[in-house]
Amino acid sequence: MNISIKNWDIQDRPREKLLEKGVDVLTDAELLAIIIGSGNAKESALDLSKRILRDVGNLDKLAKANVKDLTKISGIGPAKAISIISVFELGRRRQPINENNKKITSSHDAYQILKGTLCDLPHEEFWIVLLNRANVPVKKIKLSKGGVAGTVVDIKIIVKEAVNELASGVIIFHNHPSGNLEPSASDLQITKKIKDALNLVEINLLDHLIITSKSFYSFADEGKL
Protein backbone atom coordinates (compact mmCIF):
# COMPACT_ATOMS: atom_id res chain seq x y z
CA MET A 1 0.00 0.00 0.00
CA ASN A 2 1.35 3.40 -0.99
CA ILE A 3 1.75 6.07 1.67
CA SER A 4 0.99 9.56 0.39
CA ILE A 5 3.80 12.11 0.51
CA LYS A 6 1.45 14.21 2.66
CA ASN A 7 1.81 11.59 5.39
CA TRP A 8 5.64 11.52 5.27
CA ASP A 9 7.83 13.24 7.81
CA ILE A 10 7.93 16.89 6.77
CA GLN A 11 11.73 16.77 6.35
CA ASP A 12 11.37 14.00 3.77
CA ARG A 13 8.86 15.76 1.53
CA PRO A 14 10.67 17.16 -1.54
CA ARG A 15 9.01 20.61 -1.51
CA GLU A 16 9.46 21.11 2.21
CA LYS A 17 13.00 19.74 2.04
CA LEU A 18 13.84 22.29 -0.65
CA LEU A 19 12.42 25.14 1.43
CA GLU A 20 14.25 24.07 4.58
CA LYS A 21 17.60 22.90 3.20
CA GLY A 22 17.88 24.36 -0.30
CA VAL A 23 17.65 22.89 -3.77
CA ASP A 24 21.19 21.49 -3.79
CA VAL A 25 20.42 18.73 -1.30
CA LEU A 26 17.57 17.23 -3.35
CA THR A 27 18.19 14.09 -5.38
CA ASP A 28 17.31 13.89 -9.08
CA ALA A 29 14.24 11.84 -8.17
CA GLU A 30 13.10 14.41 -5.61
CA LEU A 31 13.42 17.25 -8.10
CA LEU A 32 11.52 15.23 -10.69
CA ALA A 33 8.80 14.49 -8.12
CA ILE A 34 8.28 18.23 -7.62
CA ILE A 35 7.96 18.67 -11.40
CA ILE A 36 5.39 15.92 -11.95
CA GLY A 37 3.46 16.96 -8.86
CA SER A 38 1.60 13.76 -8.03
CA GLY A 39 1.87 10.01 -8.17
CA ASN A 40 -0.86 7.43 -8.64
CA ALA A 41 -2.86 4.93 -6.62
CA LYS A 42 0.14 2.63 -6.22
CA GLU A 43 3.08 5.06 -6.06
CA SER A 44 3.92 8.41 -4.56
CA ALA A 45 5.32 11.08 -6.86
CA LEU A 46 8.79 10.24 -5.53
CA ASP A 47 8.43 6.50 -6.15
CA LEU A 48 7.15 7.21 -9.64
CA SER A 49 10.09 9.55 -10.26
CA LYS A 50 12.58 6.92 -9.12
CA ARG A 51 11.01 4.42 -11.51
CA ILE A 52 11.08 6.92 -14.39
CA LEU A 53 14.80 7.51 -13.91
CA ARG A 54 15.44 3.80 -13.54
CA ASP A 55 13.45 2.94 -16.70
CA VAL A 56 14.90 5.76 -18.81
CA GLY A 57 18.47 5.31 -17.59
CA ASN A 58 19.70 8.79 -16.65
CA LEU A 59 18.91 12.50 -16.89
CA ASP A 60 20.65 12.87 -20.27
CA LYS A 61 18.33 10.29 -21.80
CA LEU A 62 15.31 11.79 -20.05
CA ALA A 63 16.16 15.21 -21.50
CA LYS A 64 16.03 13.73 -25.02
CA ALA A 65 12.65 12.03 -24.57
CA ASN A 66 9.53 13.32 -26.28
CA VAL A 67 5.88 13.07 -25.21
CA LYS A 68 5.43 9.76 -27.02
CA ASP A 69 8.49 8.29 -25.29
CA LEU A 70 7.43 9.43 -21.83
CA THR A 71 3.79 8.34 -22.05
CA LYS A 72 4.97 4.80 -22.71
CA ILE A 73 6.04 4.74 -19.05
CA SER A 74 3.27 3.49 -16.80
CA GLY A 75 1.92 6.33 -14.67
CA ILE A 76 2.99 9.11 -17.04
CA GLY A 77 0.22 10.78 -19.01
CA PRO A 78 0.47 13.68 -21.46
CA ALA A 79 0.28 16.34 -18.70
CA LYS A 80 3.21 14.93 -16.72
CA ALA A 81 5.19 14.33 -19.93
CA ILE A 82 4.66 17.93 -21.03
CA SER A 83 5.80 19.22 -17.62
CA ILE A 84 9.02 17.20 -17.81
CA ILE A 85 9.78 18.27 -21.38
CA SER A 86 9.04 21.93 -20.61
CA VAL A 87 11.51 22.00 -17.71
CA PHE A 88 14.33 20.63 -19.86
CA GLU A 89 13.51 23.10 -22.65
CA LEU A 90 13.68 26.01 -20.20
CA GLY A 91 17.09 24.76 -19.12
CA ARG A 92 18.27 24.80 -22.73
CA ARG A 93 17.08 28.38 -23.17
CA ARG A 94 18.38 29.79 -19.90
CA GLN A 95 21.75 31.15 -21.08
CA PRO A 96 21.49 34.34 -23.15
CA ILE A 97 23.62 34.87 -26.25
CA ASN A 98 25.78 37.57 -24.75
CA GLU A 99 25.70 37.36 -20.99
CA ASN A 100 27.63 40.31 -19.57
CA ASN A 101 29.11 41.06 -23.03
CA LYS A 102 31.52 38.20 -22.58
CA LYS A 103 34.35 38.04 -25.08
CA ILE A 104 34.99 34.69 -26.75
CA THR A 105 38.64 33.80 -26.17
CA SER A 106 38.58 30.00 -26.55
CA SER A 107 36.65 27.05 -27.89
CA HIS A 108 35.40 26.42 -24.34
CA ASP A 109 33.91 29.93 -24.23
CA ALA A 110 32.18 29.22 -27.53
CA TYR A 111 30.90 25.88 -26.26
CA GLN A 112 29.11 27.60 -23.38
CA ILE A 113 26.95 29.57 -25.80
CA LEU A 114 25.06 26.66 -27.34
CA LYS A 115 25.83 23.55 -25.30
CA GLY A 116 22.52 23.83 -23.43
CA THR A 117 20.60 24.23 -26.67
CA LEU A 118 22.18 21.41 -28.65
CA CYS A 119 23.47 18.77 -26.27
CA ASP A 120 20.16 16.97 -25.58
CA LEU A 121 18.54 17.09 -29.00
CA PRO A 122 17.62 13.75 -30.67
CA HIS A 123 18.15 15.31 -34.12
CA GLU A 124 20.87 17.46 -35.72
CA GLU A 125 20.67 21.23 -35.82
CA PHE A 126 23.07 23.74 -37.38
CA TRP A 127 23.59 27.17 -35.79
CA ILE A 128 25.84 30.16 -36.31
CA VAL A 129 26.99 32.80 -33.84
CA LEU A 130 28.04 36.20 -35.19
CA LEU A 131 30.75 38.21 -33.41
CA ASN A 132 31.91 41.81 -33.54
CA ARG A 133 35.51 43.04 -33.79
CA ALA A 134 36.02 42.48 -30.07
CA ASN A 135 34.98 38.81 -30.45
CA VAL A 136 31.79 39.47 -28.49
CA PRO A 137 28.72 37.56 -29.75
CA VAL A 138 25.99 39.78 -31.16
CA LYS A 139 23.54 37.25 -32.57
CA LYS A 140 22.89 33.51 -32.74
CA ILE A 141 20.82 31.94 -35.51
CA LYS A 142 19.45 28.45 -36.08
CA LEU A 143 19.97 27.71 -39.75
CA SER A 144 18.55 24.23 -40.10
CA LYS A 145 17.04 21.22 -38.40
CA GLY A 146 17.61 17.73 -39.73
CA GLY A 147 17.37 14.11 -38.76
CA VAL A 148 19.49 11.86 -36.61
CA ALA A 149 22.31 11.64 -39.15
CA GLY A 150 22.52 15.10 -40.71
CA THR A 151 21.08 18.46 -41.67
CA VAL A 152 21.26 20.70 -44.75
CA VAL A 153 23.24 23.96 -44.63
CA ASP A 154 22.72 26.88 -47.02
CA ILE A 155 26.03 28.76 -47.21
CA LYS A 156 24.41 31.79 -48.88
CA ILE A 157 22.28 32.38 -45.79
CA ILE A 158 25.35 32.29 -43.53
CA VAL A 159 27.11 34.91 -45.63
CA LYS A 160 23.95 37.04 -45.87
CA GLU A 161 23.37 37.03 -42.11
CA ALA A 162 27.02 37.82 -41.36
CA VAL A 163 27.08 40.72 -43.82
CA ASN A 164 23.75 42.12 -42.61
CA GLU A 165 25.03 42.21 -39.01
CA LEU A 166 28.42 43.64 -40.07
CA ALA A 167 30.02 40.71 -38.27
CA SER A 168 33.78 40.40 -38.09
CA GLY A 169 33.75 36.73 -37.18
CA VAL A 170 31.52 33.66 -37.32
CA ILE A 171 31.45 30.48 -35.24
CA ILE A 172 29.42 27.58 -36.57
CA PHE A 173 27.93 24.82 -34.45
CA HIS A 174 26.15 21.55 -34.97
CA ASN A 175 25.39 18.57 -32.76
CA HIS A 176 25.90 14.84 -33.13
CA PRO A 177 23.02 13.02 -31.39
CA SER A 178 24.98 9.77 -31.70
CA GLY A 179 27.55 11.08 -29.22
CA ASN A 180 30.40 10.61 -31.71
CA LEU A 181 32.61 13.70 -31.72
CA GLU A 182 34.63 12.85 -34.83
CA PRO A 183 33.82 15.10 -37.82
CA SER A 184 32.47 13.33 -40.88
CA ALA A 185 33.77 13.88 -44.41
CA SER A 186 30.76 16.12 -45.07
CA ASP A 187 31.51 18.12 -41.88
CA LEU A 188 35.03 18.80 -43.14
CA GLN A 189 33.78 19.67 -46.61
CA ILE A 190 31.07 22.10 -45.51
CA THR A 191 33.48 23.81 -43.10
CA LYS A 192 35.92 24.53 -45.92
CA LYS A 193 33.14 25.83 -48.17
CA ILE A 194 31.82 28.15 -45.45
CA LYS A 195 35.31 29.44 -44.66
CA ASP A 196 36.02 30.14 -48.34
CA ALA A 197 32.67 31.91 -48.81
CA LEU A 198 33.19 34.12 -45.75
CA ASN A 199 36.73 34.98 -46.85
CA LEU A 200 35.28 36.53 -50.01
CA VAL A 201 33.54 39.15 -47.86
CA GLU A 202 36.48 39.48 -45.43
CA ILE A 203 34.75 37.76 -42.50
CA ASN A 204 36.66 35.19 -40.47
CA LEU A 205 35.39 31.73 -39.68
CA LEU A 206 36.74 31.46 -36.15
CA ASP A 207 35.70 27.92 -35.30
CA HIS A 208 33.32 25.06 -35.97
CA LEU A 209 32.13 23.12 -32.93
CA ILE A 210 30.54 19.68 -32.87
CA ILE A 211 28.54 19.29 -29.68
CA THR A 212 27.41 16.15 -27.86
CA SER A 213 25.82 15.67 -24.45
CA LYS A 214 29.24 15.07 -22.88
CA SER A 215 31.77 17.26 -24.70
CA PHE A 216 32.68 19.07 -27.92
CA TYR A 217 35.10 18.99 -30.85
CA SER A 218 36.74 22.21 -32.02
CA PHE A 219 37.94 22.43 -35.63
CA ALA A 220 40.19 25.34 -34.65
CA ASP A 221 41.80 23.46 -31.76
CA GLU A 222 42.38 20.41 -33.96
CA GLY A 223 43.88 22.43 -36.84
CA LYS A 224 41.02 21.61 -39.21
CA LEU A 225 40.15 25.18 -40.27
Residue range 48-85, pLDDT digits in tens: 999 999 988 888 788 888 899 899 988 899 999 999 99
**pLDDT at 38 exceeding the cut of 80:** yes
- CA distance readout (Å), 27 to 21, 38, 94, 165: 12, 17, 21, 44
Give one word for 135, left, alpha or beta, with left for phi > 0 and alpha for psi -120 to 50. left
Domains of the chain, residue spans: 5-93, 99-218
Closest CA to 85 of 63, 56, 58: 63
Tell me, yes or no, if the two domains 5-93 and 99-218 fold the same way.
no
Spatial contact of 203 and 106, defined as CB atoms under 8 Å apart: no
Q: Which fold has domain 5-93?
A: DNA polymerase; domain 1 (1.10.150)
Burial class (CB in 10 A: 0-12, 13-18, 19+), 10: exposed
Residue 149: predicted pLDDT: 56
Residue 148: predicted pLDDT: 56
DSSP class of residue 124 equals: -
Is 98 or 168 the better-scoring residue by pLDDT?
A: 168
Question: At 1, is the pLDDT very low, low, confident or very high (cuts 50, 70, 90)?
Answer: very low
Residue 82: predicted pLDDT: 94
Q: Which fold has domain 99-218?
A: Cytidine Deaminase; domain 2 (3.40.140)
**pLDDT at 95 exceeding the cut of 80:** no
